């Protein structure tokens, strides 16, 4: 998602440079976005007013900020904006370290996928102080169609995880309904068209099932194992809030089971195919 996001920032007049640990990814990033690449996180942060991170999890974020030296090289008054799906507890810890060095921290995860990144219609959930979020709001407005300040640091990542738990649960339930309807003799396209005009509609029935499951492409661009990670974070949020989730636990168990059998690079929409095959087993 970083490529279309960076491209939008350049088109809006921002001066952008990029870094990725993978040289091939850096080359692709430069080719597809037109953004200059640098050779290290330290170079990326040098002189920047804002450093935007789009990374897979908190362990990588922590390594980039601390072990790789990005935070130490950031100028006082700069802002780190973590737009990946990280652990909110770890985000608060990193924000405290950043504050000691005079650097602000905003967690601003997004929803909407690659398609939303290209169109600039992402939903952005920003957590941080009023001043820090206000400072980065123009940048976030270029990337998202709906940008909300949802609370102090960590609240953005917590809300994103809860959103993805709902998304994961909805996809499972919708895939089961699709399978049952098809086996009963209902055309799957008719089933989805009808549901999408009724109270059972969701993003899964409107987008994921018709575009990625019925088409057989399974290429939404969001990995199944990232969904497993996000669902786990959501359960951690619930545990910290002393609000147990019985359905959430069952959802997590099914996603973990699918991840144990599907290939490492499986798209998250492949859980519909896995579910269909699993229910066919004697």
Q: Please give the positions annotated as active site.
A: 160
Report the first-to-last Cα separation within the chain, whole angstroms.
Answer: 40
Residue 48's closest CA among 77, 26, 8? 77
Q: What are 144's strand-pairing partners?
A: 122
CA distances from 106 to 117, 119, 237 (A): 19, 23, 18
Residues 6+ apart with CB under 8 A from 245: 165, 234, 235, 238
H or E stretch covering 15: none
Residue 172's closest CA among 208, 142, 137? 208
118/156 Cα distance (integer angstroms): 21
Helices in the chain by DSSP H: which ranges? 2-11, 23-33, 41-45, 58-62, 70-73, 88-100, 113-119, 130-143, 155-184, 188-195, 203, 224-240, 246-261, 271-280
Longest distance between any two alpha carbons in the chain, whole Å: 64
The structure tokens listed for 98 are: 């950043």
Asked whether 81 and 135 are in contact (CB, 8 A), the reply is: no
């Amino acid at each position: 998602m970083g490529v279309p996001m960076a491209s939008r920032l350049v088109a809006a007049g921002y001066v952008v440079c990029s870094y990725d640990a993978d040289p091939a990814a850096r080359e692709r990033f430069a080719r597809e976005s037109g953004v200059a690449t640098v050779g290290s996180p330290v170079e990326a942060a040098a002189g920047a007013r804002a450093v935007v991170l789009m990374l897979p999890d908190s362990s990588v974020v922590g390594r980039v900020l601390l072990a790789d030296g990005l935070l130490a090289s950031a100028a006082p008054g700069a802002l780190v904006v973590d737009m990946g799906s990280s652990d909110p507890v770890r985000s608060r810890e990193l924000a405290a370290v950043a504050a000691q060095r005079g650097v602000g921290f905003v967690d601003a995860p997004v929803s909407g996928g690659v398609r939303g990144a290209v169109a600039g219609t992402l939903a952005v959930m920003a957590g941080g102080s009023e001043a820090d979020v206000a400072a980065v709001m123009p940048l976030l407005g270029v990337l998202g169609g709906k940008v909300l300040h949802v609370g102090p640091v960590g609240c953005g990542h917590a809300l994103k995880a809860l959103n993805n738990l709902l998304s994961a649960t909805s996809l499972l339930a919708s895939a089961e309904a699709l399978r049952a309807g098809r086996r009963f003799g209902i055309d799957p396209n008719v089933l989805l068209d009808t549901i999408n005009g009724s109270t059972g509609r969701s993003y899964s029935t409107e987008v994921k099932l018709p575009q990625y499951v019925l088409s057989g492409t399974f290429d939404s661009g969001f990995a199944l194992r990232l969904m497993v990670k996000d669902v786990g974070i959501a359960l951690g949020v619930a545990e910290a809030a002393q609000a147990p989730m019985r359905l959430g636990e069952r959802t997590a168990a099914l996603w973990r089971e699918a991840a144990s059998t599907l290939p490492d690079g499986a798209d998250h929409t492949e859980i519909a195919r896995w579910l269909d095959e699993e229910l066919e087993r004697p």
